[in-house]
Amino acid sequence: MTRPIVAYKSDPRRGAVWHEVFAREAPELELLDWAAGDARAAAASYLVAWTPPDELPRALPRLEALFCIGAGIDHMPLAGLPDSVALVRMVDPALARSMAEYVVLAVLALHRDWPAYRTDQAAGRWQARPLALAANRRVGVMGLGEMGRAGLEALRPFGFPLRGWSASPKAIPGVDCFAGPAELAAFLAETDILVCLLPLTEETRGILNASTFAALPRGAGLVNAARGGHLVEADLLAALAEGRIAAAVLDVLSPEPPPPDHPLLAHPAVIATPHVASATHPESAARQVIAGIRAHRAGRPIPNRVDRRQGY
C-alpha cells in the first residue's frame, strides 16, 4: 500500500527531528524534504512549511492540507491557496508555554523599571526608583487565544489585576474581559501595561497607534510579542518622546531584520529582542501534524484549521 507523502519545507536542522518523530511514531506516513523539481515531493498530499513554494497549485497539484509551522498565518499567500486545500495553524502547548515565559519577563521588566535602570547603569548613576506594588499595576492583554490565555495564567501568581480584549466576547476566570471596537477604549483606559498577542489581520494591522496610546493612562508600558505589523513605529516613537508611553518591550519590528540604525533599537526606553518570544518545538509540532493528518484521513475535522474569513 502506498504511503501518503508529507513534504517538509523548513529549517533542515529541525527537520531532522521531524524525520525521527515520523519514523518512530507514524510509519504509515512518508516524510520527504521539499526540493523544487523533486517529482516524489511534488506528489505530496500534505505540506509542512513556514512559506509554501511559489505557484503552489502547480508545484503540489495533489495537496490536500497545508500545515503552517508557526502560530501566525498572516504571511501565507492565501490568494494563491485553492479553497480545496485546508490551511492549519500550529497550536502547540510548548509554543504557548514559551510565550508565557516571555510575557512574564517583559511585564516584570516594565513593572520593575528595567529599561530605566539599564540607562542609569550605562550613565554610571546609582539611584533607586519608587517601587510599585503589582496589585496596583493593571496588565491588559490584547488577543485571548491560546497565547493570550497562557500569558494571563502565567501572570496570575504575581497579583496584577488582569484584563483582556479580543474581537469576540470571551470569559476567563479572574480576568476582566472586553470585546470589539466598542469596548476597546474602556479596556485601554485602565491598562497600565499593554501586551499585544493579537493575530495580524486587516482589522488589527496598525492597532498599536497614536489613538491607542492616547487612550492608555499616561506613562503606560507596552509589550508587542505578536507581529511588527501591529505597531505604527512612528507613533510609538512620538509617544515615548511625549512620555505617553514610558517604556516598551518589542520582540517584533518591521522589517525583520531591522536595519542597524532602526530608531527603536537604540532607544533608551526600549528593550528589543529578535523575534524570540516563542518558537515551534519540533517534537510536539511533528506530533500535532501527525494527529491532524490522521484526523483528515479518517474523515474527521482537522484541529486548528484556519477560518480564512477571519484570518486565524
Active site residues: 227, 275
3-class state of residue 142 by DSSP:
strand
Whether omega before 173 lies within 30 degrees of 0, making that bond cis, reads: no
- How does strand 162-166 pair with strand 139-142? parallel
Side chain identity at residue 106, one-letter code: A
| Closest of 133, 120, 142 to residue 222, by C-alpha | 142
CB 270 within 8 A of CB 264: yes
Strand partners, 6: 31, 46
- Cell 477604549 sits at which residue? 185
Gap between the Cα atoms of 43 and 141, Å rounded = 43
Give me the torsion for CA of 239, 240, 246, 248, rounded to 10°: 100
Residue 231 has what DSSP assignment? B
Distances (CA, A) of 35 to 9, 42, 58: 8, 8, 14
